[in-house]
Structure 1
Amino acid sequence: MSKSSPLPHVAAAGRSRLLRTVALLSILSAVTGCSAVDRLSQIGETPKLNAIENPTAQPGYKPVSMPMPKPETVSYNPNSLWRNGSRSFFKDQRAHQIGDLLTVTVNITDQANFANETVRNRTGKEDSGITDFIGAQTITQAHKILPGRILTTDSTSQYDGKGTIQRQESLQTNVAAVVTQVLPNGNLVVEGKQEIRVNYEMRELIVAGIVRPEDIQSDNTIDSSKIAQARISYGGRGQISDFQQPRYGQQVMDVLLPF
């Protein structure tokens, strides 16, 4: 009686692997298809600037909610040109209400050096046995009956870990921001976005956070170090950025591969 050939099973396994590969490629194509089509449609063209839009109308925008002190009642003195709470006798030209503009001076100089080392060594040894038991050495062939070493163990552990971090970052630029919200205590929520296109490369700077009106200088500028909850982003997109980024397939393999 002849045995069945394993070739049909091998072919079925091959077809199964092929179907799984095709399904995976289909999923990847569906995910990156829209992006690839957009990039292909922009070949030979400069990156397009985004339209100026209302920041509060953007998807995902949420008003800022912070702990507020009790509101103070503004009092007016009769026969007086001065009002309590005013910062100047004349009109203040600094930003103070929704829609006003102010200039944010981004000045970031960050430098950090860390060096850590951990060394750990441990050695252990256990040895036990029976060499003489009630005059057993006088008995002939006693060494064949009594065990020599019942338990003998040796262990050695050694660990050496080193870590070094060297970082130096510097960013100096200016960006105009708009007041999008006035908090109950008078603090201002600002947000600014700047796009610069040079040839086929787009540079984008985003600044957002909360500022105190008292920290705004007389020339209507404020330093980025005085912005609370600051969110500063500086990056780019275009042909140079594309070449600096690894391909989608390589990024997927870096995430999935365990080695």
Structure 2
Amino acid sequence: MVLLVVLTGCGKLGQVGRAPAFSPLEGSTQFSAMYASDMPDDVLPSGPSDGSSLWDAGTASLFGDRRAAQRGDILTVVIEIDDQASIRNSSGRSRSGSVNAGMPEFLGIPQRINEGLPDGAGMANAFETNSSSTFQGNGSVARQEKLTLRVAATVVEELPNGVLRIEGQQEVRVNFELRELVVTGYVRPIDVSRQNEITYDKIAGARIAYGGRGQITDMQQPTYGQQVADTVLPF
């Protein structure tokens, strides 16, 4: 465990004095989708759709459909999250019980048992119990989230039912801090607007991650030794 911590720290030392590197696009799913698919014919300028028309039928046309519809196409994901949640619960419970049992008469058996019992004890009041319990609980949750972002995503797969699987990644580096936005999910072609945009609430199985790496992020995280201690130590 100590060796693992040391090796991890040495890997971080190699980044001292350097800005965080961008994630390579080569080898990613988006890269494969774009380079494995041929450019559709309707994207390229084409002639008139028929002899009597002044307009062509391709997406380069003024009236062409520019929405993403197949593997390798690009669309814009609009993320506008402004959620508020407030939950408050209160519960109470009270319970009490009392039991008193005895056997004063039963074919003379209690009297015979009483002869062997200490003074003051008898089967007429064999045992008596009392119990009570009280519970009260209160809980509340207040949450507010707001996020407004736009990111270009690539259609990386066309499912047999026509649904498109999209992936998008955006990285912005400012000085020694790199901010990263990742979005993945499934969309229906019919939900893509005429502006070739789709809102996050129409993405099934949406996975949206907004974070970063660099000097500021490193300062906000505890050291590796402290993280190990927090995980291993039981107190």
User: Fold conserved (TM > 0.5)?
Assistant: yes
Q: 1:145 to 1:56 in 2, by over 3 A?
A: closer
**Stretch of structure 1 that moved more, 212-221 or 187-196:** 212-221
Q: What's 1:56 paired with?
A: 29
Q: What's 2:38 paired with?
A: none
Q: 1:39 to 1:258 in 2, by over 3 A?
A: closer
The correspondence for 2:119, drawn from 144, 148, 154, is 144
Q: What's 1:122 paired with?
A: 95
**Stretch of structure 1 that moved more, 182-191 or 200-209:** 182-191
Deviation at 1:199, TM superposition (A): 2.2
Question: How large is the Cα RMSD of the aligned pairs?
Answer: 3.5
Q: Quote the Cα distance in structure 2 between the aligned partners of 1:201 and 1:48.
A: 10
Q: What's 1:237 paired with?
A: 213
1:144 is paired with a residue whose SS is: coil
Matched residue type, 1:236 = G
Q: 1:251 to 1:160 in 2, by over 3 A?
A: farther
Q: What's 1:19 paired with?
A: none
Q: 1:150 to 1:184 in 2, by over 3 A?
A: closer
Q: Quote the Cα distance in structure 1 between the aligned partners of 2:162 and 2:20.
A: 39
Q: Is the 8 A contact 2:84 2:145 kept in 1?
A: yes
Q: 1:187 to 1:144 in 2, by over 3 A?
A: closer
Q: 1:156 to 1:246 in 2, by over 3 A?
A: farther
Q: Quote the Cα distance in structure 2 between the aligned partners of 1:113 and 1:227.
A: 25
* Structure 1 position 199 matched with structure 2 position 175: yes
Q: Is the 8 A contact 1:123 1:156 kept in 2?
A: yes
Deviation at 1:93, TM superposition (A): 1.9
* Structure 1 position 210 matched with structure 2 position 186: yes
Q: Return the TM-score normalized by structure 1.
A: 0.65
**Stretch of structure 1 that moved more, 90-99 or 247-256:** 247-256
Describe how 1:146-165 pairs up with structure 2 within 5 A. Answer: 146-147=121-122, 150-165=126-141
Q: Quote the Cα distance in structure 2 between the aligned partners of 1:146 and 1:226.
A: 77
Q: What's 1:36 paired with?
A: 9
Deviation at 1:208, TM superposition (A): 0.9
Q: Quote the Cα distance in structure 1 between the aligned partners of 2:134 and 2:95.
A: 6
Superposition misfits of 4+ residues, deviation over 6 angstroms: none
* Structure 1 position 219 matched with structure 2 position 187: no
Q: Quote the Cα distance in structure 2 between the aligned partners of 1:250 and 1:153.
A: 52
Higher RCO (CA 8 Å, separation ≥ 6 residues): 2
* Structure 1 position 102 matched with structure 2 position 78: no
Q: What's 2:34 paired with?
A: none
- State the Cα deviation string for residues 200-241 of structure 1 (Å, max 9, x = none): 222111011111222222222111111112111111222222
- State the Cα deviation string for residues 53-110 of structure 1 (Å, max 9, x = none): 343389xxxxxxxxxxxxxxxxxxxxxx9xxxxx999532222222111111111122
User: Can you give the 5+ residue segments of structure 1 that lack an aligned partner in the other structure?
Assistant: 1-27, 59-80, 82-86, 137-142
**Stretch of structure 1 that moved more, 190-199 or 240-249:** 240-249
Q: What's 1:64 paired with?
A: none
Matched residue type, 1:174 = R
Deviation at 1:145, TM superposition (A): 6.0
Q: What's 1:248 paired with?
A: 224
Q: Return the TM-score normalized by structure 2.
A: 0.71
Deviation at 1:42, TM superposition (A): 1.0
Q: Is the 8 A contact 2:5 2:225 kept in 1?
A: no
